[in-house]
């Protein structure tokens, strides 16, 4: 009797290519240029830091002000919303998508001020396709309830990461010079907080925020949901893909791939919002050094986001206390990045203007 052939062993996902490092030589040139401007030493403060950051990522001094910034909002529903962890019903995600498309949502309104464009992607809304022609971006319909079941399958995790990478490629290939990944989804901050706790080793109560504006009862339900989801995730805390499968979601998988690919494509990213931050933790684990291509836009009041920034060694530009996950905070910071680039490139030099400190004249 012949032996039956062995089942094929699942292949491991191919590792990502090494993430390129920012251009330190260009940064050194920018530091020298900054020192030669007709201004008191250190007087531009954080604006100088932003100019140096952009210079090192663009690899040119002076840097170009970002002129084609693109916000990519990834929308998906989460099964954990059924646990009463949000101030909104699960079907509100589709309404938020509609408001963004109608340019009445906060990110769309703010984007008109900053000169950014906004794109919305349906990665996993729990309904028939809301956005025509986007079937190629949908990972699945909704995500599993993470306190009881996996959010995704292994195949769906791989597909989500692939879609996120393809989205980043589309944006860069079409001329985007700065990217703002963002999210929409009722229950998304519960999944994101659980991921942050799993990666950082934090207790559930240390990551539970008010998210959509929940009261104390919903806060306790959210804490319980994160606790139960963390128990399921415990065997996978060192495996980013397994975490996405167990306690993530379609949006988180897509955003993880997006952030990795943006770094591989040497494209600056403004990081804002807890869901994007949680995806950033996983992306930097999958592609070490990716965080060097990201700038933390603002300090979120979500406690889990503080842990994200600490782990990624990112310092937020502003303390806006914006809890919106749709990219509003990042878009609000975009004009500062644009101004910083222009200041470095257009401010008169001390030599050309004759504006020099007395000590430089007298020796």
* pLDDT tens string 264-273: 999 999 999 9
Helices and strands in the chain: count of H runs, count of E runs? 15, 5
What sign does the CA torsion over 170, 176, 181, 184 have? negative
What local confidence, expressed as pLDDT, does residue 2 receive?
38
Hey, where are the domains in the chain? Answer: 24-64+342-362, 69-334
Predicted confidence at residue 125, as pLDDT, reads 95
Q: For the residues 114-128, what does the mean pLDDT come to?
A: 95
Residue 7: is its pLDDT beyond 70?
no
Q: How far is CA 317 from CA 123, 160, 267, 295, 310, in A?
A: 29, 30, 18, 8, 14
Q: What is the reported pLDDT for 135?
A: 86
- Identical fold, 24-64+342-362 and 69-334: no
The fold for domain 24-64+342-362 equals 1.10.1610
* Length in residues, the chain: 363
Q: Which of 12 and 102 is assigned the larger pLDDT?
A: 102
pLDDT at 281 over 70: yes
Is the Cα torsion angle 32, 37, 42, 45 positive or negative in sign?
negative
What digits encode the pLDDT tens for the residues 322-340?
999 999 999 999 999 999 9
Give the mean model confidence (pLDDT) for residues 340-361: 87
DSSP-derived letter for residue 11 is: P
9: pLDDT strictly greater than 60: no
| Average pLDDT along the chain | 94
Task: List b or e across 53-69, with b for residues whose CB sees 16 or more CB atoms inside 10 angstroms.
Answer: bbbbbbeebbbebbeeb
pLDDT of 133: 78
Cβ atoms < 10 Å from Cβ of 304: 26
Fold of 69-334: Rossmann fold (3.40.50)
């Amino acid at each position: 009797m012949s032996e039956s052939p062995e089942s094929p062993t699942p292949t491991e996902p191919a590792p990502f290519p090494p993430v390129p490092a920012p251009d330190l030589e260009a940064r050194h040139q920018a530091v020298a240029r900054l020192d030669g401007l007709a201004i008191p030493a250190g007087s531009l403060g954080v604006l100088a830091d932003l100019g140096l950051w952009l210079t090192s990522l663009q690899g040119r001094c002076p840097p170009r002000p970002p002129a084609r910034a693109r916000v990519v909002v990834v929308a998906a529903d989460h099964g954990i919303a059924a646990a009463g962890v949000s101030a909104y019903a699960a079907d509100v995600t589709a309404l938020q998508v509609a408001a963004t498309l109608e340019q009445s949502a906060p990110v769309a309104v703010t984007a008109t001020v900053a000169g950014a464009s906004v794109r919305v992607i349906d990665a996993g809304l729990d309904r028939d396709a809301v956005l025509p022609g986007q079937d190629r971006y949908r990972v699945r319909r909704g995500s599993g309830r993470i306190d009881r079941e996996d959010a995704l399958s292994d195949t769906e995790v791989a597909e989500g990461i692939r879609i996120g990478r393809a989205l980043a490629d589309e944006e860069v290939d079409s001329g985007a010079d700065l990217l703002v990944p963002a999210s929409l989804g009722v229950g998304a901050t519960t999944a994101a907080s659980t991921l942050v706790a799993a990666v950082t080793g934090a207790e559930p109560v240390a990551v539970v925020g008010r998210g959509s504006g929940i009261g104390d009862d919903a806060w306790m339900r959210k804490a319980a949901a994160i606790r139960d989801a963390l128990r399921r995730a415990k065997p996978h805390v060192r495996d980013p893909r397994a975490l996405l499968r167990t306690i993530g979601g379609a949006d988180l998988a897509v955003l993880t791939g997006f952030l990795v690919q943006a770094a591989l494509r040497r494209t600056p990213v403004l990081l804002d919002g807890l869901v994007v931050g949680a995806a950033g933790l996983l992306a930097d684990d999958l592609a070490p050094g990716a965080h060097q291509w990201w700038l933390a836009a603002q300090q979120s009041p979500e406690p889990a986001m503080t842990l994200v920034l600490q782990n990624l060694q990112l310092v937020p530009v502003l303390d806006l206390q914006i809890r919106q996950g749709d990219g509003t905070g990042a878009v609000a910071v975009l004009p500062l990045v644009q101004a910083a680039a222009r200041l470095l490139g257009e401010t008169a030099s001390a030599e050309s203007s004759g504006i020099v400190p007395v000590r430089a004249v007298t020796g």
